[in-house]
Amino acid sequence: MSAAPLLSVRDLRVGFATEGGLLQAVDGVGFDLKPGEVLAIVGESGSGKSVTAQTLIGLTRSKNSRIEGSVKLDGEELLEASDATMRRLRGERIAMIFQDPMTSFNPVYRIGSQIVEAIRAHKGDVDKAQARRQVVELFDSVGIPDAERRVDDYPHEFSGGMRQRAMIAMALALEPEVLIADEPTTALDVTIQAQILRLLEDLNRQHGLATILITHDLGVVAEVADRVLVMYAGRIVEEGTLDEIFYDPQHPYTWGLMGSLTRLDRPRPHRLPQIAGSPPSLLDLPEGCPFRPRCPHEFSKCPQEPGLEARLSEVPDHRDRCWLTPEQKREKRQVEGQIGLEAPQEAPRV
Amino acid sequence: MLRFVIRRLIGMVFVLFVVSILVFLIFNVIPNSPPAQRLAGKNATPVLVKSIEEEWGFDESLPVQYVTMMKNVFTGELTSYSPRIPVNDQIQEGIPATFSLSIGAGIIWLSFGLLLGYLAATRAGGWLDRALTGVAIAGISIPVFLLAPVLIYFLTYKLEIFPNGGYVKLTEDPWEWFTHLILPWFTLAVLSIGFYSRVLRSNMLDVMNEDYVRTARAKGLSEGRVMTRHVLRNSLIPIVTLFGLDFGATIAGTAIITEVLYGITGVGYYAAHAISNFELPPIMGVTLYGAFFVVFINTLVDIAYAYLDPRVRLGASAQ
């Protein structure tokens, strides 16, 4: 708790001018990332988690975007930094890896040379042979076998898991302080997922690399995260430590996410549980709580949007956006003996 | 690689065969006076016509005439009707002029097309992009037979900047060669400049949305490097195909109108002459020469592809 945050985000708002009006993709997001911490941002597609991450390194800057708020890295404001400053910072201080390793490398260049390119973009005095040796070492450290030979392979000669390892090697090349991993395991099969997560965890532990892990998969979160932000419709609806979120979730949306986890240790339900409905259009948000239309526990206070507040007096860092009292929540989140979100009233019960 | 070349050679033989059949049939179907009659002159006796028919083989059946003609093509003995000149010599004589025209025009349209397309794509939506769109569409819309006379009238006749048509050999006088070709080059290139700039622009806008471009930005590359090394490089692959087809077609015949309009005595000029005189042997010769270059250049393009896109290399070796 005492360590100063490495990355501090306050009231971040990101909007895009579209033909249908201003699309507010991120609306008032704030969090701190401490050195060595793994922060997970969880949410469905369109909840604003990737936009948040890309905004941190200036990738959402464009003529059509409106970015407000504050993003400070070691006290330095990034939202006001020049494009040149942001460019130097990308890769060197904040590195990012992306969801689909199949399409994240340029198909026409050798993987090694794409990493050499990243190194030399920041360190002009490193010659190609030196940079290549460094890539071989990086490949070794992320567990790519036969590194000396594989640096000269093209992306299509790598498997998905190997590509994601190479992607991680590229992210580590300049020894960044922060790693943003945007759905790093989503496109991989389950056994490879576990390997990649273990790799990320090792890196976090060995190098104290602060990591922001973006995912929609609570299983991934449970493996590696220290703290969790749950996002919905561009807002944070709940935040807390891993244990707080998993054992004492406060927001109905979080219950829904927990309830839709498939569990192998329980009898298979007739139907896999899901959260009814779909996320609201960001151009046409419901008044009040944005989760209201999908929430079976809606009541008279919901047409007013609740603030992100600590509602449990004993844990001030566990905050949520739901009007229900902690006692009500404890009772309502129990569905068939485990945490979940009831099916809406009108739908037939299973 | 050897298999690839052999497959291409077989393909080429097939293409040339089909093209020659088509040319031969079309020539024999279109309304036309018997060639022997024309060769014999206006007041020829039936005996003379008859002897010419026999000498040239016009009295034989069409398949026999075709076989004879193809035999002549491959032995280099194909001769035009009147005057009786070997077609091979005529084509060879025209090749330097046609190549000078086509290669120069190709370089111009490729470089200007890429430059304008790159500028438009990197400034998409801005005023320069809109202006270039207008210019490109104008370039695509103006027909060569209108553009050439207009250029000749203003730049040659009124302002006297450029020489008035004709072709000077490169070996004779390089400067004259150059000045005589500037207008024809641009006339031939204008359409393709417009077209290529449009194609490159839309390719680049597509590639800009690729994940690997985002990766390139995320690793902190400068915007210029992202655009040239990643966006432009990957956008060039379809352009190469297009260039292969267009350049082959230019050598094979698109240059005909330009050669005639500027009085460049190249292969196209010869072909135009042969067509207006109903001379089958030169038409056959020129058509086969053109078809050969189209196939040949497209083979080169396929080889270049393997260099441009490593994924193709794997496919070729896996076969």
Q: Say whether A57 and B215 touch across the interface (CB within 8 A).
A: no
Per CB-CB distance under 8 Å, the chain A contacts of B233 are 106, 108
Q: How far is A165 from chain B (nearest CA, A)?
A: 15
How large is the average pLDDT for residues B293-304?
86
Nearest to B211 among A100, A108, A156 (CB): A100
- Model confidence band, residue A2 (pLDDT cutoffs 50, 70, 90): low
Who among A95, A103, A108 is closest to B310 (CB)? A108
Residue A39 and residue A213 in contact, taking contact as beta carbons nearer than 8 Å: yes
| Distance set, CA B277 to CA B32, B77, B83, B273 (Å) | 10, 20, 11, 6
Whether residue B217 and residue A157 make contact (CB cut-off 8 A), yes or no, is no
Closest CA of chain A from B211, distance in Å: 5
Nearest-neighbour CA in chain A from B123: distance (Å): 12
The alpha carbon of residue B205 is apart from the nearest alpha carbon of chain A, in Å, by: 15
Say yes or no: B229 contacts chain A, CB-CB below 8 A.
Answer: yes
Backbone phi, psi, residue A125, to 5°: -85, -5
- Please give the average per-residue pLDDT across A66-86, as a whole number: 93
More confident residue, B318 or A30: A30
Length of chain A: 350
Is residue B8 a contact partner of residue B15, using CB atoms and an 8 Å limit? no
Question: Of A288, A307, A294, A298, whose CA–CA distance to A332 is shortest?
Answer: A298
A-B C-beta contacts closer than 8 Å? 72
Using CA of residue B119, residue B125, residue B131, residue B132, what is the dihedral sign? positive
Q: How confident is the model at residue B11 (pLDDT cuts 50, 70, 90)?
A: confident
Does pLDDT of B314 surpass 70? Answer: no
- 3-state class of A178 per DSSP? strand
Measure the CA dihedral B173/B175/B176/B179, to 10°: 160
| Cα radius of gyration (chain A) | 21
Whether residue B319 has pLDDT greater than 70: no
Q: Is residue B317 less than 8 Å (CB to CB) from chain A?
A: no
Phi, psi of A172 (to 5 degrees): -85, -15
pLDDT band at A148 (very low <50, low <70, confident <90, very high): very high
Q: CB–CB of B214 and A59 under 8 A? A: yes
- What A156-160 contacts at long range (C-beta under 8 Å, 24+ apart), as own/partner pairs, is A156/A107, A156/B310, A156/B311, A156/B314, A157/B314, A158/A111, A160/A101, A160/A102, A160/A187, A160/A188, A160/A189, A160/A192
Average pLDDT across chain B, whole number: 87
Closest residue by Cα to residue A176 from A59, A109, A97, A76: A97
Kindly indicate the confidence band of residue B156, based on its pLDDT and cuts at 50, 70 and 90: confident
B32 DSSP assignment = -
Residues of chain B with Cβ-Cβ distance to A89 below 8 Å are 220
Whether the predicted pLDDT of A1 surpasses 70 = no
pLDDT confidence band for B313 (50 / 70 / 90):
low
Which residues in chain B are closer than 8 Å to A117, comparing Cβ atoms?
219, 221, 229
Tell me: pLDDT of B318 over 70: no
Angle at the Cα of A136 from the Cα atoms of A134 and A141, rounded to 5 degrees: 95
Q: In what order do the strands lie in the sheet with A178-182?
A: A94-97, A178-182, A210-215, A38-42, A227-232, A235-241, A319-320, A309-310
Confidence of residue A346 (pLDDT cuts 50, 70, 90): low
State whether residue B64 sits within 8 Å of chain A by CB.
no
The predicted complex's ipTM stands at: 0.85
Q: Does B228 touch chain A (CB under 8 A)?
A: no
Token reading at A254: 């979080």
- For helices B87-122 and B127-141, the axis angle rounded to 10 degrees is 160
Q: What is the tens place of the pLDDT at every residue in B97-132?
A: 999 999 999 999 999 999 999 999 999 888 999 999
Provide mean pLDDT across the span A122-143: 92
Name A329's Cβ contacts closer than 8 Å, sequence gap at least 6.
Answer: A250, A322
Is the Cβ pair A90, B229 closer than 8 Å?
no
Q: Tell me the C-alpha distance between A187 and A189, whole Å.
A: 7
Per-residue pLDDT averaged across A317-343, rounded?
86
For A303-323, write each residue's pLDDT tens digit. 999 989 888 878 888 999 999
CB-nearest partner of A156 from B214, B221, B314: B314
- What token pair was written down for B171? 């070996």
**Contact call for residues B143 and B220 (beta carbons, < 8 A):** no
Fill in the amino acid letter for B243: F
Q: Are B283 and B271 in contact (CB under 8 A)?
A: yes
CB contact under 8 A, B230 and A104: no
Preceding peptide of B163 cis, ω within 30°: no
Q: Nearest CA of chain B to the CA of A39: how many Å? A: 20
Residue B187 has pLDDT above 50, yes or no: yes
Q: How many CA atoms lie within 13 A of A27 on its CB side?
A: 20
Q: How far apart are the first and last CA of chain B?
A: 10
Chain A partners of B317 at a C-beta cutoff of 8 Å? none
User: A-chain residues within 8 Å CB-CB of B222?
Assistant: 87, 121
Q: What is the pLDDT of residue B194?
A: 94
Q: CB atoms < 10 A from the CB of A218, how many?
A: 20
> Nearest residue of A to residue B216 by CA position?
A118
Instruction: Identify the contact set of chain A against chain B, taking CB-CB distances under 8 A.
Output: 57, 59, 83, 87-92, 95-96, 98, 100, 103-108, 117-118, 121-122, 154, 156-157, 167, 170
| Non-local CB neighbours of A133 within 8 Å, separated by 6+ positions | none
Taking 90 as the threshold, does the pLDDT of residue A21 lie above it?
no
Whether B315 contacts chain A with CB within 8 A? no
Closest by CA to B239, choosing from B294, B291, B198, B209, is B198
Residue B107 structure tokens: 């370089």
Determine the distance in angstroms separating the CA of B306 from the nearest CA of chain A, rounded to an integer. Answer: 10
User: Residue A350: which pLDDT band, with cuts at 50, 70 and 90?
Assistant: very low
Handedness of CA A30, A34, A35, A41 (dihedral sign): negative
Using the Cβ of B82 and the Cβ atoms of chain A, whether some distance falls under 8 Å is answered with no
Q: Cβ-count burial of A344 within 10 angstroms (0-12 exposed, 13-18 middle, 19+ buried)?
A: middle
Q: Which of B222, B230, B308 sits opposite A87 (nearest CB)?
A: B222
Q: Could you read off the pLDDT of A79-113 as tens digits, one per residue?
A: 999 999 999 999 899 999 988 888 999 999 999 99
* Chain B residue with Cα closest to A89: B220
Model confidence pLDDT, tens digit, residues B228-265: 999 999 999 889 989 988 998 888 877 888 899 888 88
Over pLDDT 70: what percentage of chain B? 97
pLDDT of residue A84: 92
Cβ separation of A108 and B210 shorter than 8 Å? no
Q: Does position A347 have pLDDT exceeding 60, yes or no?
A: no
Between these two residues, B183 and A350, which has the higher pLDDT value? Answer: B183
Does the beta-carbon distance from B219 to A108 stay under 8 Å?
no
B126 touches A: beta carbon within 8 Å:
no
* Cβ-Cβ contacts under 8 Å, B203 against chain A: none
The residues near B59 (Cβ < 8 Å, ≥ 6 apart) are B53
User: Which of A50, A104, A120 is the best residue to mutate to test the B interface, defined by the most B CB atoms within 10 Å of its own CB?
Assistant: A104
pLDDT of residue A245: 93
**Any idea what the Cα angle at residue B204 is, between residues B203 and B209, rounded to 5°?**
105
Task: Decide if A108 and B234 are in contact by the 8 Å CB cutoff.
Answer: yes
Nearest CA to A195 among A155, A161, A150?
A: A161
Tens of pLDDT, residue by residue over A218-273, are 888 988 899 999 999 999 999 999 999 999 999 999 998 888 877 777 777 667 77
Average pLDDT over residues A40-45: 90
Length of chain B: 319
**DSSP helix/strand/coil, A20:** coil
